[in-house]
Structure 1
Amino acid sequence: MRIGLVGYGKGGRFFHAPLIASLTDATFVGVVTRSPERRQALACDYPQVQAFASLSELVAAGVDVVAISTPLAARHGQILEAIELGVSVVSDKPFAQDQDQARELIEAARQRGVLLSVYQNRRWDSDFLTVRKLIDSGALGRVARFESSVERYSPTSVGKLSGGGVLRDLGSHLVDQAQLLFGPVQQVYAELQYATPHHEVDHSFFVALTHASGVVSHLSGSCLQNCPRPRFRISGSNGCYTVDGLDVQEEQALAGHTPLSIGDNWGVEEHRRWGWFEHGEHRERVPSERGCWLRYYQQLQMAVDTGAANPVDPLEALNTTRVLDAARQSASKGCVVTL
């Protein structure tokens, strides 16, 4: 597989490039970026990877797939351009600004006959994989409430938020994970806190989802929280699982590591970061599963090469977008929205 990347900001540089560069039987062809600073960073990080001025130039160099990791406002047009050029596309999240835009992208890919996938890398976080294992094994019993939160204190992030703020950004991950575990959502209630008095973007959110399965998910995110909640707390009839902090892969990527450079240490959580299972007075550590964002691209590679399943179907991303749209409507009107 020959793959290219559009955008070399934080997302492209740290959340896509290290994985693309670590794929076996694949070639990292190039990156589209016009910024002199980012071109310099690319040359330092991956000297063999060429910089291109446009998506059309990258495609002309010969690629099977392009991963698009640019600001949401520009991403829609770039995805459509890549689809029209006939190459498979990986869209970073958020997938779209609203569900109408998401449907447009899905229909364009269908008509052109190209694969369209959405980069939901946090399906392969160590903590989420551990949660899935505990639920699938029945260790928690019947789950009644699922609590999922990504909160941090990063005031410099507020001015960089776009396309729906933290709800659309972090919420894309949290809603995707909740639906993957517990199925379709029937009702949505949300509260948003805004970064400006003009309500342009939110810096914090709380969303309550009622799934058709009967499970209730409480999701929250913030970039202005000094004291974050646990990353996960799942309450079941047989006990409760909690875990703090974020998956180690983000830390490793921001430190300049890749799955190729550190091998078996990639995605491995040290025991002090493991979560807890508790039932009454019983309390025990739960070893974390190994995180592996690289699996997304490995599965994408199989989908492109052999026609295997898409690692993240865009229809799943459409469902997530519908929930996020409902959350914004709920917060605006102060009501529960039924889907």
Structure 2
Amino acid sequence: MNIGPRNLITDVPGLWVGNAQDEVLKSGTTVVVGDAPFTASVHVMGGAPGTRETDMLAPDKTVEAVEALVLSGGSAFGLDACSGVVDGLRAAGRGFQVGGAVIPLVPGAILFDLLNGGNKTWCDNPYRALGRQAFDVVAQDFALGTIGAGTGALSAMMKGGLGSASLVLPDGSTVGALVAANPVGAVTTPGDRHFYAAPFEIAGEFGGLGPDPASGLGMTLDSRKMRAQSPRENTTIAIVATDAALTKAQCHRVAVAAHDGIGRATVPAHTPHDGDLVFALSTGGGTAGDVMMIGHAAALCLSRAIARAIFHASPRPGDLLPCWSDLNA
């Protein structure tokens, strides 16, 4: 396996990503759109998820494809970002046709960033507008770190962010991951330098420092975030994707496997106070997929994407926590 040309989820042909954020709000939204509707499913392993229209992604439900997936900050308010994406898709004439009606299907998930130091005293919910802005700027190249749904994200010890990574499999199919990392847990070992995901790093993509040589890791669970906030402001939400042809049931199995990537990159993971969730999608443009290999690659990409999210986070006025780059200057 090798990194794709961008090392982004958009190495999967036919996918586009849009980001929108408000620096005063300290929050934002990310959308993944395909050239055409794609097959998707989802798996939740956190104890506190926030979702929209995810029930229809179960393998036994009749919906076969969706137009887009949304990751957003804003907790329950952020679910309205999906409405902004629906507005953009409707204006473009895209959606599920029922008689004369066109209905864009856009599942989404949110993380909690309401106590991160941003100004949350809005009168009108800002997330619908952020969703539409993100849809309007979709591209195949995009920045990582403090952007989109990762704008206000915080890990246990430092700022979180938006991350992505990709792999090209031996059969020529591509797998990618996109994540907004805002976990209860830490992404670095004690000392704030080495990433838990270091064994899976490729070509120095998040600093090239290698694994922590210490043993007995995970015995202490220090958290600057918990000292600054209540323990409930968390969640890692992600999308993994492939161009290999998968059914909805196979997408679900890939989403399950991809959660290993959260567990390898974040300690602890899948806690009662996280809403950890992974969407898996197939554009179906390639040959029939090897579900085992795709799930394995998705987990590898997701671990790397989480580390890249934190590695690329950048400081902003009023931040509650330092960035990895601040601590390792």
Give the TM-score normalised by structure 2: 0.25
Point out the structure with the larger helix share. Answer: 1
**Bigger CA radius of gyration:** 1
Choose between structure 1 and 2 for higher RCO, CA contacts under 8 A separated by at least 6 residues.
Answer: 2
